[in-house]
Structure 1
Amino acid sequence: MPRYYEIDSAWWASIQREPNGRQTVKTETFVRELAKINFNWSYRQANQWIETYVTVFKDVSPEEGENRTFQLFNPNGGR
Structure 2
Amino acid sequence: MIKYLKAQRNPYYRFLYFFFTDDKTEAEKALQKIKPNKLKNQASVMFHFEQKNFEDVKPLLQHLKDDSFKMVL
**Which structure's residues are more often strand, by fraction?**
1
State if a TM-score over 0.5 links the two structures. Answer: no
**Which structure carries more relative contact order (alpha carbon 8 Å, separation 6+)?**
1
Higher Cα radius of gyration: 1
TM-score (norm 2): 0.30
